Amino acid sequence: MAEEETIQDEQEQIKQRREKLSTLREEGIAFPTDFRRDVVAGELHAEYGEKAAEDLEATPVRVKVAGRMMTRRVMGKASFCHIQDMSGKIQLYVTRDVLPEGYYNQQFKKWDIGDILGAEGILFKTKTGELSVKVDNIRLLTKALRPLPEKFHGLADQETKYRQRYLDLIMNDVTRETFLVRTRIISFIREFLTHSGFLEVETPMMQAIPGGATARPFETHHNALDMGLYLRIAPELYLKRLVVGGFENVFEINRNFRNEGLSTRHNPEFTMLEFYQAYADYHDLMNLTEDMLRQLAKQVLGKTKITYQGEEYDFDKPFTRMSVKESILHYNPELKPEDIDNIDSACKVAEGLKIPLKDSYGLGKIQIEIFEKTVEHRLMDPTFITAYPVEVSPLARRNDDDPFVTDRFEFFVGGREIANGFSELNDAEDQAERFRKQVEEKDAGDMEAMHFDADYITALEHGMPPTAGEGIGIDRLVMLFTDAPSIRDVLLFPHMRPKA
């Protein structure tokens, strides 16, 4: 059966390449490991790209390069090819007469596009001025058995780009650049927070009680302990335990898991930055966020006007700040404050907007439904929305002047939520009461409602200093900065259904 599949799988080109490999095996070591390069393509272009042909001739530079052969143009006794390494491409000029007798025809010409080569030679410029290596020693380091996608159109099929990301990375510069930017963003944030006095930590990915967010968790099982465990939906409660423990400023950049549907904005596992700062409040975090994102744009993209899907967002001008209620009234000018101030009129507004309501919804939840329906997608330039109702903020500190809302904000760009932060609820008794409310909702059938985490309450009872905390969705931030329409474009290996 397996044999049958193999035969089916064997395309003509793969067969030919297997035969070439078989010959290589007979001739010696088919997969050598002893070649060492001394430079990568990007360094060569940076250092010698601007040099005149005469200068390169006057002081010969000898280099060893390696990479995947991406193109080849054979013209009788001479050939050009490009090899690609992590930093870019460099052209090789290979001629028959400087190689050992028979090597050019019997070896080099039998290699295929996609094979991985090591080459040694002198830098020079071609007639058209392209920096190239005049090769006098070249070896096949790895035989590729499968052909690459077509050189001109590259790899366009979305599904293959996601399922075989390595092909996408080989063929598409834009894809490579996207993931380089992703890494630069994460590096910048790590350095920014570290330099601001935050300590990077790691907290459990497997939790007995999944806390810190309202979402359905993945469940797993620990065999030796014979107990159920959950993949975390957020690190929040553990990070705040660390604040109780005296690690006053901490951050973690790591994966969260949520057992929900997939979309252009949702992947079951996604990367989150969470950070906590003691002796600070949510205003301090809004300021920090604004500062960090502005610097991030400058440093990573070299500009503060970001183009996303044809729209431009300015990170240079001060970010807008308004409350949930203000934003609802601002984007629904026909509404008066009293229309959303009590549950009966708010229900009418929601019904007018065709928002399905549940009996369990209080005024706060209804306001948020109205906000999500009429405001969220219109928050284009960077905007902080503040004063979220207590009802939808079970871990946030109650506002001193208006106990209906919390000292909380969310941050939006391009109509999408990027961050969520608040002054932390460090009143253990209030927190216990909020957990009880959540458990009631869970018992009433809300699969996303929180568990009661007694251990966390105990931690709070030991005293957590006044603290503000925030989470930033790294994937959505990367989407924004790389102009990616789907979260799958910024995840190296996005979740896919099994193919067959």
Specify which residues 422 forms β-bridges with.
408, 469
By the 8 A CB rule, do 416 and 476 touch?
yes
- Least CB distance from residue 387 to RNA, whole Å? 25
Q: Is 8 in the site for RNA (CB under 7 A)?
A: yes
Q: Is 334 in the site for RNA (CB under 7 A)?
A: no
Query: Closer to RNA at the Cβ: 163 or 255?
Result: 163
Question: Is residue 298 packed enough to be buried (19+ CB in 10 Å), middle (13-18) or exposed (0-12)?
Answer: middle
Query: Closer to RNA at the Cβ: 110 or 294?
Result: 110
Give the interface segment with RNA, choosing from 8-16, 60-68, 276-284, 320-328 (CB under 7 A): 8-16
Q: Give 271's contacts (C-beta < 8 A, 6+ positions apart).
A: 186, 253, 254, 255, 256, 473, 474, 475
Query: Closer to RNA at the Cβ: 1 or 224?
Result: 1
Report the SS3 class of residue 428.
Answer: helix
CA angle in degrees (0–180, nearest 5) for 404-392-403: 15
For 196-210, b/e burial (b = at least 16 CB within 10 A) is eebeeeebeeebebb
Select from 261, 310, 333, 463 the one that contacts RNA (CB under 7 A).
261
Q: Is 356 in the site for RNA (CB under 7 A)?
A: yes
Query: Closer to RNA at the Cβ: 113 or 209?
Result: 113
Give the interface segment with RNA, choosing from 129-137, 232-240, 333-341, 385-393 (CB under 7 A): 129-137
Closest CA to 468 of 394, 385, 408, 393: 408
Query: Closer to RNA at the Cβ: 287 or 309?
Result: 309
Residue 73, CB half-sphere, CA atoms under 13 Å: how many? 6
Q: Is 371 in the site for RNA (CB under 7 A)?
A: no
- Least CB distance from residue 451 to RNA, whole Å? 26
Q: Give the span between the Cα atoms of 118 and 63, in whole angstroms.
A: 11
- Least CB distance from residue 18 to RNA, whole Å? 12
- Least CB distance from residue 4 to RNA, whole Å? 8
Determine the distance from the C-alpha atom of residue 177 to the mean position of all C-alpha atoms in its chain, rounded to a whole number: 13
Determine the distance from the C-alpha atom of residue 46 to the mean position of all C-alpha atoms in its chain, rounded to a whole number: 28
By the 8 A CB rule, do 438 and 394 touch?
yes
Q: Is 100 in the site for RNA (CB under 7 A)?
A: no
Q: Is 162 in the site for RNA (CB under 7 A)?
A: yes
Q: Is 264 in the site for RNA (CB under 7 A)?
A: yes
Number of Cβ within 10 Å of residue 57's Cβ equals: 12
Closest CA to 296 of 279, 263, 273: 273
Q: Give 181's contacts (C-beta < 8 A, 6+ positions apart).
A: 300, 301, 478, 481, 482
Give the interface segment with RNA, choosing from 329-337, 407-415, 469-477, 481-489 (CB under 7 A): 481-489
- Least CB distance from residue 219 to RNA, whole Å? 19
Q: Is 151 in the site for RNA (CB under 7 A)?
A: yes
Q: Is 497 in the site for RNA (CB under 7 A)?
A: yes
Q: Is 124 in the site for RNA (CB under 7 A)?
A: yes
Q: Is 73 in the site for RNA (CB under 7 A)?
A: yes
What six digits make up the tokens of 173? Answer: 């510069």
- Least CB distance from residue 234 to RNA, whole Å? 22
- Least CB distance from residue 92 to RNA, whole Å? 9
Query: Closer to RNA at the Cβ: 164 or 254?
Result: 164
Residue 419: its H or E element: strand 416-423
Closest CA to 91 of 53, 43, 124: 124
Q: Is 97 in the site for RNA (CB under 7 A)?
A: yes
Applying CB under 7 A, the residues found at the interface with RNA are 8, 11-13, 16, 71-78, 80, 82, 91, 93, 95-97, 110, 112-113, 124, 126-130, 132, 146-147, 149-160, 162, 261, 263-264, 356, 485-486, 488, 496-500
